[in-house]
Structure 1
Amino acid sequence: MRIIWKAFGTLYFATLLMLIGSSLLNTYLGLHLAESGAADFWVGALMAANYFGLVIGGRVGHRLIAKVGHIRAYVACAGVMTAAVLAHGLIDELYLWLAFRVLIGMGLMCQYMVIESWLNEQAEARVRGKVFAGYMLASFSGQVLGQLALRLQADFAVDLLLLVALCFALCLVPVALTGRLHPKPLRVVPFSPMFFFKRVPQSLTTMLISGLITGAFYGLAPLYAMRQGLDTKHISWFMGICVLAGLLAQAPLGWLSDRYDRALLIFTSALLLAIAALPLAFLPSIPLALLFACGFTVCLLQFCLYPLAVAFSNDHMESERRVELSAMLLVTYGVGACIGPLLCGLLMRLYGANMLYVFASLCALLLALRVRPASVTHLYQASDAPLQHVAVPADLNRSPLSTALDPRVDEQWVEEQMQNTPESEIQRTAVEP
């Protein structure tokens, strides 16, 4: 593993800085708006705008990288993101903040694609799983550290925005100074929604509901904690512990996923999540220790849904369509992550902060009713299923390209489809509307 970190440490470090800045910005903006008296709906709208930017950034990023190259695209996005972050401190108009969040989301997705291009192309087949694990660890660590960075500032002054801008600016240094060869031009991943609606409907349902819950969590959990009377430092601990739960869940989840029916695991996780969220949903005031314990448990189960849905869907898909499947899963998750903060923010405005966990409990219950082991026919199960479970970041901090690092995907097909695309096709794709 030491060799892996030595070879890809700069890319992991860039990912870490990106996620520290993104995670801190998400929480900071929610708390800043709440303190200034803005409606809960706006807090959710900002998070929805961020996820919307991430979703459309996949298409924009392909075309930008094809046109100007990987490093130039990465540097340009870092500049735009840094400027957009600083603009939050200069302009108070919330409508413009929505545009800034879309720009930041688009820039982040493009940067993920650049980093994952390097990881995909330069990771040897025998170590691809370890390279993917390092990328996942950097992603989760950045999210945790971003939450804990709130402790550096007692109030919500512009200093925290400067820290976010600093992270977004510094993350370009490891990539801009790299001595590695540029990855080969990217190929736009094909997209056939109706095929996947018919083939893996339960996996798509799981991804959609996971997006609803997780998008609402990242956008509105800091606001919920504030309404429970927590100060900034305790909010940072609450968010950090919740995100850390997602990382700690991955190892035991992988062990279970490789030994038990994955539809049963999704059903069980959803049912337990619906139950675990009830104390936070209905208790108007909750002791600090119980708040942390319940929040940790809810997120432990919540962050199981995404990787289980990925593994379950790959079990029912041929290897040559798994990169396309990854794009479909991310879009489905992104749609949920856009809707979740908006809907939950409206509910919190009308009925109070506890609606965050009422919303999570109801979504989980709906998922448990939809994904039942008895309803799984295994009609389209792949010949190599069940495939090895691979932990993935429980958020949109990845692109369809990272699927090529997944040991479950056929290496020869990935190399042919994503690296050996004719230059004429890349140029044509870059200019098509």
Structure 2
Amino acid sequence: MFRNRHFVTLLTGQLVSTFGNNLFGIALPWFVYSVTASKADLSLIGVAQSLPNLASLFTGVFVDRWSKRKTMLSADFIRVVLCVVLMAISVVHASLWPIVLIVFLLQCVGSFFGPAAAAFVPLVVAEKDIPTAMGIEQSGSATAQLVGTLSGGVLLTLLGAPLLFLFDGFSFLVSTVSLLLIRVKEYPAKSVEIHEKRSFFREFIGGIVMFQKSRFLLLTLVAALVVNFATAPFDLVLTAWVKGPMHGSPIQLGIVNAAFFIGVILGGLVLGRIIKSISLRHLFLFSLVIAGICVMGMGLFASVIWDACLTVCIGFVIGSLNGGFSSVVIQSIPASLRGRAFGAIGALFSMMMPVGMAIAGFVMTHTTLTTVFCGMGAMSILSGLTFCLPIREDLQAAFAPVEHMPSQVEG
């Protein structure tokens, strides 16, 4: 894989961008909570970050029509500008609402980038190398997140949130440069409509009906709705937990977050073996149940070491689950459907996250954080147990029939 120049270039740009995003993810809630001291404001930021995920239902249709590379380039450039604006706003300590708006716009732009990036990977690697590429990408991403998390607490203490917002913008700029260095063949938008003129509505529905074709995919949707509703505010709850009952610092928050990515790295390293030795159903079942038990355990003791050990376990099982599911799905989706399929899966799986974020603000204000951890963990366990239902694994049916595309042209 590392002999593939395009894959290495793409991976490098995305790892730098992931590193910047992780610094941003640590700095934003800490900055908001430090300035406002309000759990409700933390929840508001969470809603602004999660609500645009629903836009992927529609953006995936456009991604299938557009050049994936050009879509990613445009998204990265816009995010550079937005990060610079956010840095300026945070320096002058403007009200919360401009920050909420910028965060919302950043995520909206990301709703185009995500499906485009998922559909772009198969264009730079051979089909037989997709599982290996996904494992490398997952482990590399987790490593970048680990480094960002470990250094994020220190950098946040030394430099402050505004400079970390600016660095996130710089990371998007690096991603832009890496994409400019890549030349791959893509299907032109017009060729998709040579034999049949397609309306936006029909293409949008095409990304939805796959859930009707596969009962197993529908089951994963139900489970994802439950667990994502429950765990949507996890990062916000963890921030309040470290800053509150633990009386910790940004460095301690970074340590606990870093432990999660250590687990993801370990999961990525053994992903290939896991996929071969366990069915997708059992992977969902065991991963979600184990993750739920660990989340419940986090609220028992206000200890960095205790929470770090549990988050290693959470990262391992969730990393293995996400990587395994992505590898199976990406090999099942025809090239002409990848944008809308990944968009629909991402949007529908996360559609309950804004609701979870909104409710979290009320719940965190009116109950203890220990109770919140227990509630999140219990619902994760419940979502995992749904995979005990006798439903056949029929993911291939969701994306049938396979569409055959015209010959490729230079993108």
Q: Which TM-score tier does this pair reach, normalised by the shorter chain?
A: 0.7 to 0.9
The residue identity in structure 2 corresponding to 1:249 is G
Matched, 1:171 2:189: no
Q: Please give the secondary structure, in 2, of the residue aligned with 1:119.
A: helix
How far off its partner does 1:16 sit? 1.1
Measured after TM superposition, the shift of residue 237 of structure 1 is 1.8
What does residue 86 of structure 2 align with?
88
Map of 1:206 onto structure 2 = 223
* Equivalent runs, 1:279-358 vs 2, <5 Å: 279-283=297-301, 286-307=302-323, 323=338, 326-358=342-374
* Preserved CA contact (<8 Å) 2:87 2:163: no
Alpha-carbon distance in structure 2 between the residues aligned to 1:318 and 1:16: 25
Query: What's 1:393 paired with?
Result: none
1:37 aligned partner: 36
CA distance in 1, matches of 2:283, 2:116: 34
Equivalences for residues 158-237 of structure 1 within 5 A: 158-176=162-180, 178=181, 180-181=183-184, 183-185=186-188, 190-193=206-209, 195=212, 198=215, 200-227=217-244, 228-237=246-255
Identity across the alignment (%): 11
TM-score normalised to structure 2 length: 0.79
Q: Provide the secondary structure at the position in 2 that maps to 1:174.
A: helix
- Give the distance between the partners of 1:95 and 1:197, measured in 2 at CA: 42
Letter in 2 for 1:280: M
Q: How far, CA to CA, are the matches of 1:332 and 1:138 in structure 2?
A: 26
**Offset at 1:239?**
0.9
- Cα deviation for residue 19 of structure 1 reads 1.5
Residues 142-185 of structure 1: CA deviation (Å, up to 9, x unaligned): 32233233122316342212211211222211113x25146233
| Rounded Cα–Cα distance in structure 2 between residues aligned with 1:332 and 1:295 | 26
CA distance in 2, matches of 1:368, 1:175: 38
How far apart are the structure 2 equivalents of 1:233 and 1:144?
Answer: 13
Find 1:359's aligned residue among 360, 369, 375: 375
* Counterpart Cα distance in 2 of 1:272 and 1:130: 25
Whether the 8 Å CA contact 1:212–1:337 is kept in 2: the answer is yes
**Change in 2 beyond 3 A, CA 1:113/1:287:** closer
- In 1, Cα distance between equivalents of 2:116 and 2:335: 22
Aligned match for 2:289, one of 253, 265, 271: 271
- On the 8 A contact 2:44/2:358 being kept in 1, the answer is yes
CA distance in 2, matches of 1:59, 1:327: 7
Q: Which residue of 2 aligns with 1:396?
A: none
Displacement of 1:303 in angstroms is: 4.1
Q: 1:16 matched to which residue of 2?
A: 15
Q: CA deviation at 1:130?
A: 2.7
Q: Distance in 2 between matches of 1:265 and 1:74?
A: 32
Q: Residue 386 of structure 2 corresponds to which residue in structure 1?
A: 370
| Map of 1:153 onto structure 2 | 156
How many pairs were matched up? 387
Give the structure-1-normalised TM-score: 0.75
SS of 1:200's equivalent in the other structure is: helix
Cα offsets for 1:179-207 (capped at 9, x unmatched): 51462335657223561585533211222
Does 1:27 pair with 2:26? yes
Aligned residue number for residue 261 of structure 2:
243
Supply the distance in 1 between the matched residues of 2:9 and 2:140 (Cα, whole angstroms). 11
Match of 1:129 among 126, 131, 136: 131
Alpha carbons of structure 1 residues 206 and 246: separation in structure 2 relative to 1, 3 Å: farther
> In the alignment, is the contact (CA less than 8 A) between 1:62 and 1:110 conserved in 2?
no
- 1:60 paired with 2:73, answer no
Give the superposed CA RMSD.
3.7
Provide, for residues 299-320 of structure 1, a one-character-per-residue CA deviation record: whole Å limited to 9, x for no partner: 33344554566679899x8989
